[in-house]
Structure formats: structure tokens, C-alpha cells
Amino acid sequence: MRRFRKPTTMVEGLNPKRTDIERLAKELKSKLACGGTAKEGYILLQGDHRDQVRDSLVHMGFGENSIEVQ
């Protein structure tokens, strides 16, 4: 099976005790029309969605300074 280096977007810095990361990942995947997963304290989305993720999270009520997108 071949594996290719594809771009991904990682969202970190979310407090798993205060945020339902699974629900947030589902909303982001739906809004951005991409695949992805929610793991231990971070969300990994398929594709380069850095700008859209930041805008979406700010729109959902997260502080812009608390968002770290890689």
C-alpha cells in the first residue's frame, strides 16, 4: 500500500475538559467538506484549511489568541 505526503491541518490548544472535541471535529469536517479525526486534545483535518479553521473557531466563540493551528 502506498502512502503519500498529503497536507493536513492540526488544531491544538483546546481544553478537552471544557470542549467536546469530537463534536467540534464533526462540525469542522462538515463545514470544510473534509475528513479528519479527533485525538487526545487535538483535531487533525485532511487538507490545508488553516485560514478557514481559524475563522470558523472564532465564529463559534473561541478566543483568537487561544487558537493554535498548524
- How does pLDDT run across 18-46, given as a tens digit for each residue? 888 999 999 999 999 999 999 888 899 99
Q: Report yes or no on 63 lying in a domain.
A: yes
Q: Report yes or no on 3 lying in a domain.
A: no
Q: Report yes or no on 1 lying in a domain.
A: no
Exposure class string for 8-47: b at 16+ Cβ within 10 A, else e: bbebeebeeeeeebeebbeebbeebebebebeeebbbbee
Provide the domain limits for residue 13: 8-69
- What values do phi and psi take at 23, rounded to 5? -65, -40
Identify the CATH number of the domain in which residue 28 sits.
3.30.780.10
Q: Report yes or no on 26 lying in a domain.
A: yes
Whether the Cβ atoms of residue 8 and residue 46 lie closer than 8 Å to each other: yes
Domain count, the chain: 1
- How does pLDDT run across 44-57, given as a tens digit for each residue? 999 999 889 888 98
This prediction has a pTM of 0.81
Q: Report yes or no on 2 lying in a domain.
A: no
